[in-house]
Structure 1
Amino acid sequence: MASNPPGSCCYQGVKHEGEPVGSLSTLNNFEIYTSYPANKSTEHAVLILTDVIGHRFLNAQLIADQFAANGYFVLMPDLFGGDPVPLNRSGDFDFQAWKGAHGPSTVDPIVEACVSELRNKYNSQTIGAVGYCFGAKYVIRHLHPGQGKVDVGYVAHPSFVEAEELKAIEGPLAISAAEVDQIFPAEKRHESEDILKTLGTPYQINLYSGVEHGFAVRGDPEKRVVQYAKESAFLQAVQWFKEHL
């Protein structure tokens, strides 16, 4: 695999402070969070696929609003049918069983419905997909420009991405990686680099020192090195989309 399966580090972290400005609504049978740019344009969209804590997590909503503030219409779905993992859940949680209930057979149709909604209802001409941890797998699975999927991908501290999934991408992909990450350690990062080199599509991998898995969403803002890495990873995504969307 290009990254390891998720572990308990995938739902541990710090809740941030702020007031979301987007709104919740329903698409088909699942909930979505949407956030508009100042000009209300939906021409260029960002689809955010979250970590296991889900779309109602304040940190995720604040990130969605940041992308909107940078000019993108943002749609962020509930990938888990109302069954996200609470932040810092206790150690008796059976994460393996939870993962078994939330795989491609349930998540792929949600992603496909969101892409269709962006193309057909909102008339989005380009779609960038952002994936944090769990969501990274589905950015990579759907990174096929011109096939009714997403045009450009960005992922941070990805988890359980199969090598064959990464080999199949057909669009530009940027990755933010943590120095300390048992899910996406150095050997998996190097494996991913080796795969990306062979594909002929634009790619970028940034490694952030002094941070751990989850830093781009759940890092402690009281730690300057973490806050710097979080801000830089977000700017990496914005610059990547500006270049390729």
Structure 2
Amino acid sequence: MTGLGACCFTGFKHEGEISGEVKKIGNFSTYFSYPKNNPSPSKAIIILSDIYGIMINSQLVADDFARNGYLAVIPDIVDNEPLQFGDYEAGKVDIPTWLARHGPETVYPNVEATIKHLREELGVKSIGTVGYCFGARFVVRFLKKGQVDAGYTAHPTNIQSDELASIEGPLSIAAAEIDQIWTREARYASEDLLIKTRQPYQINVYGGVHHGFAARADLSNAHLKRSKELAFLQALNWFQYYL
């Protein structure tokens, strides 16, 4: 339904102190952030990142979920090849070539292994997934009974119509008003598909923001900062109800 474009490869790096750590699940890196004083939480959030992978922006989001009582994990879904801020502007990124190396065949196994690790090794009972941009497709793909219990995406890209039409759990979407990737037309088409699934769904549109606002906004801009924070609260409220 939607692909990736230049707006997926630009943004602002955030600042802060992270509280989690990077460990291994199988042969891939995963960031783990635990809620304070609870080493064995029953609920977890899997964060499926944008093309920047496990980095400060997504780690800070994971820590925010951990502060709200969830085990938050970020599996490496970019096969140890995250892009760096400024790469695109410097002409270092060939989008089609990068995407060709990071298709579902490289992402699905790591998501599956993460779900299995949380449920079988850590005893997690309920799992939610969060997907920003590139990671959104995989939220939709794994929103199935026995896999993931609830999903949330922000400014999604590359969502496949057949996968969206076959979700088996509640899905919340934070959309940017100004988005060349997930356009107004794409939102309406997605809504038509979601209605037919008979699953709970939500699409919130944030005015005056561009694609990427919930993951890599310029936080020196008060409106963008507030919109990012509200989009996180949207996810948090969704999971508090459905997990």
Is TM-score (shorter-chain normalized) higher than 0.5?
A: yes
Alignment of 1:233 onto 2:227: no
Alignment of 1:42 onto 2:41: yes
Deviations 1:152-189 (A, max 9, x none): 00000000111111001000000000010111010001
Deviations 1:19-59 (A, max 9, x none): 1000011111110000001132320000000000001x111
CA distance in 1, matches of 2:86, 2:172: 28
Number of the residue aligned with 1:140 = 140
Task: Report the TM-score when normalising by structure 1.
Answer: 0.96
CA RMSD, Structure 1 to Structure 2 (Å): 0.9
Structure 1 segments unaligned to the other structure (5+ residues) = none
Alignment of 1:170 onto 2:146: no
Q: Which moved more, 1:119-128 or 1:77-86?
A: 77-86
Give the CA deviation at 1:92.
4.5
Structure 2 segments unaligned to the other structure (5+ residues) = none
Amino acid in structure 2 at the alignment position of 1:25: K
CA distance in 2, matches of 1:99, 1:53: 13
CA distance in 2, matches of 1:158, 1:196: 15
- 1:123 aligns to what SS in structure 2? coil
What percentage of residue pairs aligned between the two structures are identical? 48
Alignment of 1:179 onto 2:177: yes
CA distance in 1, matches of 2:48, 2:112: 12
- 1:210 aligns to what SS in structure 2? strand
- 1:145 aligns to what SS in structure 2? coil
- 1:207 aligns to what SS in structure 2? strand
Deviations 1:118-171 (A, max 9, x none): 00111000000000000000000000023xx11100000000111111001000
Does the 8 A contact of 2:41 with 2:69 survive in 1? no
Would you identify which runs of 4 or more consecutive aligned residues in structure 1 move more than 2 Å? none
Number of the residue aligned with 2:10 = 12
- 1:10 aligns to what SS in structure 2? helix
Amino acid in structure 2 at the alignment position of 1:47: I
Aligned residue pair count = 240
CA distance in 2, matches of 1:11, 1:219: 12
- 2:57 aligns to what SS in structure 1? helix
Does the 8 A contact of 1:21 with 1:65 survive in 2? yes
CA distance in 2, matches of 1:224, 1:170: 37
Alignment partner of 1:198 out of 196, 200, 204: 196
Alignment partner of 2:80 out of 79, 82, 103: 82
- 1:53 aligns to what SS in structure 2? coil
